[in-house]
Amino acid sequence: KTIKENGIPEPGPAARRAGAKVDLLFLIKDGVELGAQRERREAQERAAEAERLRQQEEAQKKQEQDEKRAREEEEVKMAAKRKADAEAEQRRQDEARRAHRCVLRCLEIGGGGGKELITASNLTVVEVARQLCRELNMLRDDEHRGGLVLLHDGQPLPGRQTLQDAGVHDGDEVMYFWGEGGEAE
């Protein structure tokens, strides 16, 4: 409200020109803030809130960076573990290949010379027949049905047995021919 609306008489125009002023005396209740005080307090609160938000953002960024660094370290550890596991598995397979290394003299029935096949005694007859097909470049097509049949000591070798279980040893002769029921790529 204005001074006039509050019922306080104001000096007229001549008195105002002469410099007369209205003197106001008032009391402020406890807890009431003046505009300037309130603005200072609100500015301080805004500054404190901005600082709190800044610190919170910094803490969140730091936490995200820490989590990212931890994930990266974990990924590096897992990659190193996978690599070590793969190397260990490769060494195990190499040792198994050396332990089961088997060289066979493969002869075609009714044919001439033979082929020396380096394989493993823990492979099945089917796997060895496929390996021999690849090395001899004997592939199944429209004209060639069936597949490679392997014989040892004149007897056909069962496809699901390993060479070791079938009694085939390093240096043995294995005969082969293309026939029905044989294996091929």
Residue type, 168: V
- Given a contact cutoff of 8 angstroms between Cβ atoms, the answer to whether 168 and 104 are in contact is yes
pLDDT at 185: 44
**Residue-level pLDDT at 62:** 96
Residue 75: its pLDDT value, please?
A: 96
pLDDT < 50 positions in the chain: 184-185
Report how far residue 177's alpha carbon sits from residue 120's, in angstroms, rounded to the nearest whole number.
Answer: 21
Distance CA 100, CA 92 (A): 12
Global pTM reads 0.47
Q: Which amino acid is at 130?
A: R
- Give the position of tokens 């609160």: 45
Query: What pLDDT sits at residue 86?
Result: 95
Beta pairing class for 101-108 and 114-120:
antiparallel
Nearest to 132 by CA among 162, 160, 103: 103
